[in-house]
Structure 1
């Protein structure tokens, strides 16, 4: 492994930053403390400009190389935590109830700070490095908020790159491949309004609980009976709420969940069938069913040339035999996809120790990943803007 020595040299500083961010997690569009720390660090490194409040709480740092004008390479990290409790015994565990960096975004932020610190001290590249610290990746549209705030008009960018930690790969392994790499996603909320009664007299009710169960079962036929079997899709109901007592038939119920897809026409088909099935059941049961479906994540598609560039940089850091390029798309989603719709670039996964999955209350990020990810990001700038 060829981690950049200077970055390895300030590993303890990166670890301290990461532990502090982990102990003070903030969810989407609330990352005020995190953003302030990022901005302060960037200014301390001596960047040419630091801009705050982009897309609500986003931060952009700009660093000009000393070899003259040239292209601009963007590097992006997400800053937000998840709205969940942390169940670890870490000394630096979350101090904010209901907030937890259970996806490693504290690590992503730290790795990008590490790359910025190194590049600020090694500016012998031709062009500009742009460091994008994005809020609200976890389903709240942070990338779209920054783009709507004219991110790429205010800070034109020729290419952009990002990464995500992964316990699916071992420490020192990376994975990247061109094309569709992560699924698009829609979120949905369904509200059922029927009529309740005493539980001993169901004939006097239009049972919202029964309607919810019937609807839930019916929705599960969409992927198996309406979607082309050669086009992957997932429809998951993740929340069901109904009732308040043992002897009361509820008059309302609610379901919520997500749709995942790699083809936009499949996402649209699933959404359309959900509306049709809900409408039919509403007529059948004599109730009201309101379906709200929102487009949240685009399909993440890596651009071929930029993917190859990132693969080469990854091979330089961890070795050819540790970089996996086979087609391994995931049904998980990532709003960096929206940035890739505007600017060509690529996204990869960086392995680390541990077997607990992301978004699990016991998830722990291996600090040893920090200099590896920071080195990869720094090398992307140096290789793409080589003087």
Structure 2
């Protein structure tokens, strides 16, 4: 398949920039979902289903034949981030405090571009399911769509996704078999002490001292409980308590996150966070209550489907422009829920020399659009050949 030049995708670029200018958060992606649904109808999709996982959209495109009975899913995420944009581009966010800082506008536009071509040519044997997901950024939208019947209702056999990658050159792809993104869990610890005047610390049980020692003790979880050849992260990002410099507060709160690729380590880290917090507090005469929430599991690419995805990318851009040995990332991705349900792969697509994702200066590079469209389209045509 020949990659068409960017100029031939002006319409898709305009879609992307329109989505970028109108960012929406989590499940409140009503304008975006309506935009997607309207385009899928315009393309002539055989079935369009809305409100899957609250605001998700699924379009079904039938191939010239359906003798294989196979359904391949292609997924793009639609939501933005609560960040004030600093790009200064003409299509910058029109909504204060919200922006597409993770490339979801590009993901959605590329999948729409692929859907348009697939609906026009239908050069495959089976059904392509184009999946537009809400709430990837911390809302678990993939799980919500699965709980709403995404996999079973549409009989999806395999599933694939793309994610933009700043620093990777335009026209390059990267992925790997096995773990490619970490789990992401969160915790909130309430420390109840005893407040007092700053001049009388001896009658207090200082929750800030307790919280500080909990943070220090957490540093031993990875360094003394995790095998040196395995990866894990425990981060406390907030310690809050008190409002005045001369008053020891009654209570304090810690909030943080944990990440790993290993399910058994996930169990160990949760147990250690709870035990350390409770026992350190007890040693000081305070009490710690831990609320620990499992959010995203590790994202694990399947071996056969990753080899297939890599070969598809190589056929498009050449072997030297595709890496199949990407080092796992400690960030998380809720496509992990979909990969737990069905075999598949998530592939990184080059965004060039740009600001990092989740940066207020980030913008999806429109030069990547032809490559993403060709990749999505080729996954369907190669995975369900006539």
Shift of 1:35: 0.6
CA distance in 2, matches of 1:10, 1:289: 60
Q: Which residue of 1 aligns with 2:363?
A: 364
Q: 1:259-291: per-residue Cα shift (whole Å, max 9, x none)?
A: 111111101101101111111122112222111
**Other-structure match for 2:88:** 89
Q: Paired residue for 2:265?
A: 266
Output aligned runs, 1:232-381, within 5 Å.
232-381=231-380
Equivalent residue, structure 1, for 2:12: 14
Write out per-residue CA displacement over residues 43-71 of structure 1, whole angstroms, 9 at most, x where no aligned residue. 11110011000001100000001133321
Aligned partner of residue 341 in structure 2, secondary structure: coil
Q: In the alignment, what sits opposite 1:127?
A: 126
- Structure 1, gaps ≥5 residues long: none
In the alignment, is residue 66 of structure 1 matched against residue 64 of structure 2? Answer: yes
2:130 alignment partner, SS class: strand
Q: Is the 8 A contact 2:168 2:353 kept in 1?
A: no
| CA distance, structure 1, for counterparts of residue 341 and residue 251 of structure 2 | 42
**Which residue number corresponds to residue 193 of structure 1?**
192
**2-side partners of 1:243 and 1:89: how far apart?**
39
Q: 2:182·2:297 contact (CA, 8 Å) conserved in 1?
A: yes
The CA deviation string for residues 292-330 of structure 1, in whole angstroms up to 9 with x for no partner, is 111111111111111111111111222110001124111
- How much has 1:10 moved relative to structure 2? 4.5
Inter-CA distance 15–309: structure 2 relative to 1 (3 Å threshold): same
Classify the secondary structure of the residue corresponding to 1:341.
helix
Contact kept, 8 Å, 1:354 with 1:366, in 2: the verdict is no
Cross-structure match for 1:34: 32
- Whole-Å Cα distance in 1 between the matches of residues 163 and 244 of structure 2? 44
SS in 1 for 2:191: strand
For 2:7 and 2:114, how far apart are their aligned partners in 1? 13
Tell me the distance in 2 between the aligned counterparts of 1:36 and 1:197: 56
Match of 2:117 in 1: 118
Does the 8 Å CA contact 1:69/1:128 hold for their aligned counterparts?
Answer: no
Shift of 1:4: 4.5
Relative to 1, partners in 2 of residues 1:243 and 1:354: Cα closer, same or farther, differing over 3 Å? farther
Q: TM-score, normalised by structure 1?
A: 0.96
The answer on whether the counterparts of 2:66 and 2:127 sit within 8 Å (CA) in structure 1 is no
In the alignment, the residues of structure 1 paired with residue 277 and residue 335 of structure 2 have an alpha-carbon distance, to the nearest angstrom, of 32
Any idea what SS the aligned residue of 1:190 has? strand
- For residues 356 and 196 of structure 1, what CA distance do their matches in structure 2 show? 45
Aligned length: 385
Identify the residue that residue 3 of structure 2 maps to in structure 1: 3
State the secondary structure of the residue aligned to 2:253. Answer: strand
Q: Deviations over 1:127-147 (max 9, x none)?
A: 110001111111211111111
Contact 2:174–2:326 (8 Å) recurs in 1: no
Q: Which residue of 2 aligns with 1:57?
A: 55
Gaps of 5+ in 2: none
Q: Pick from 43, 46, 54: which aligns with 2:44?
A: 46
The DSSP-based 3-state class of the residue aligned with 2:366 is: coil
Q: Distance in 2 between matches of 1:132 and 1:76?
A: 5
Work out whether residues 102 and 364 of structure 1, in 8 Å CA contact, stay in contact via their aligned partners in 2: yes
- Name the CA distance, whole Å, in 2 between partners of 1:252 and 1:174: 49
Partner in structure 2 of residue 23 of structure 1: 21
2:77 and 2:133 in contact (8 A); partners too: yes
> Is the 1:181–1:302 Cα contact (8 Å) retained in structure 2?
yes
Q: Distance in 2 between matches of 1:4 and 1:273?
A: 53
